[in-house]
Amino acid sequence: MPYSDTNKFFINNSLLLGILFLILFFVFPVGGAIDMYFIQPWIDSTGHFPLKNNWFLIEINHKLLKHIVIAFYIAVLISWIASFKVAKLKTYQWQLGYLFFISVLSTALIGIFKSHSAHACPWSMTEQTALGYVWDFSASNGHCFPGGHASTGFSLLTGFFVFRQSNSKIAYLFLVLGLALGLITGWGQMMRGAHFLSHNLWTGWIIFTFNLIVYRIFYKKLTR
């Protein structure tokens, strides 16, 4: 791909991320009106989340989908290790290694942000009163920002960058799957009261931004 086209890709996506940052920061603040609107259907009149311990949301959305993605990355890691010995895989050695390690680093980055955040989970921010409940936005226990579980799905966005120059169909498959799984798993957590929607949208923004920065450094390696 000509450098001019690649450079255009970086510029366009940088502008897009800048616009999305402004929207998330000013229009979609954490715990703001939009967050309240989307979380309201999942909270009862006493301030509790009835689906917090829902079997499907825990076992399928929270565990199974995460385990499927982890299994995929284990397969990628095994393939990368095998590429040092198997001639057919050696051609894809850089792509396989990049896909595994950058995906892992992207989820680790979210974990670092979470460990240093003072944002509580929605289910820890409600206090029951005689008339129903109130939100306590001073609550800081929980380290719930950004959304950690959604990062498992959004990590697949790395595949978009790996294959965007060599196989656009696979690249866009990773893009769609990454966005879909990130939003689905994040939405399930919101239904349980574990996160606001904005928590998960910030996760997607951070992971895509991280991938764009790393890709800007190593993209020539992926064209070999």
Residue 133 φ then ψ, to 5°: -160, 160
Q: Which two tokens stand for residue 156?
A: 């697949």
Q: Residue 1: pLDDT above 60? A: no
- By the 8 A CB rule, do 210 and 109 touch? yes
Per-residue confidence at 224, pLDDT binned at 50, 70, 90?
A: low
Burial 52-79 (b: 16+ CB within 10 A, else e): eebeebeeebbeebbeebeebbeebbeb
Residue range 8-17: average pLDDT?
97
Q: Residue 40: pLDDT above 50? A: yes
Note the pLDDT tens digit of each residue in 156-194.
Answer: 999 999 999 999 999 999 999 999 999 999 999 999 999
Task: Provide the pLDDT for residue 172.
Answer: 98
Q: Which residues pair with 128 in a beta bridge?
A: 133
Please, what sign has the CA dihedral across residues 79, 80, 83, 85? negative
Q: What percent of the chain has pLDDT over 70?
A: 98
Instruction: For the chain, give the mean pLDDT.
Output: 95
| Cα–Cα distance for residue pair 214/194, rounded to 1 Å | 30
Please, what sign has the CA dihedral across residues 97, 91, 76, 177? positive
| Cα–Cα distance for residue pair 201/214, rounded to 1 Å | 20
Q: Residue 6: pLDDT above 90? A: no
Q: Which two tokens stand for residue 5?
A: 């086209």
Please, what sign has the CA dihedral across residues 151, 25, 195, 36? negative
- By the 8 A CB rule, do 49 and 192 touch? yes
| Cα–Cα distance for residue pair 94/26, rounded to 1 Å | 39
Q: What percent of the chain has pLDDT over 90?
A: 90
Of the ranges 62-66, 83-87, 102-106, 218-222, which one carries the lowest mean pLDDT score? 218-222
Note the pLDDT tens digit of each residue in 100-145.
Answer: 999 999 999 999 999 998 889 999 999 999 999 999 988 877 889 9
Task: Provide the pLDDT for residue 119.
Answer: 87
Q: Residue 3: pLDDT above 80? A: no
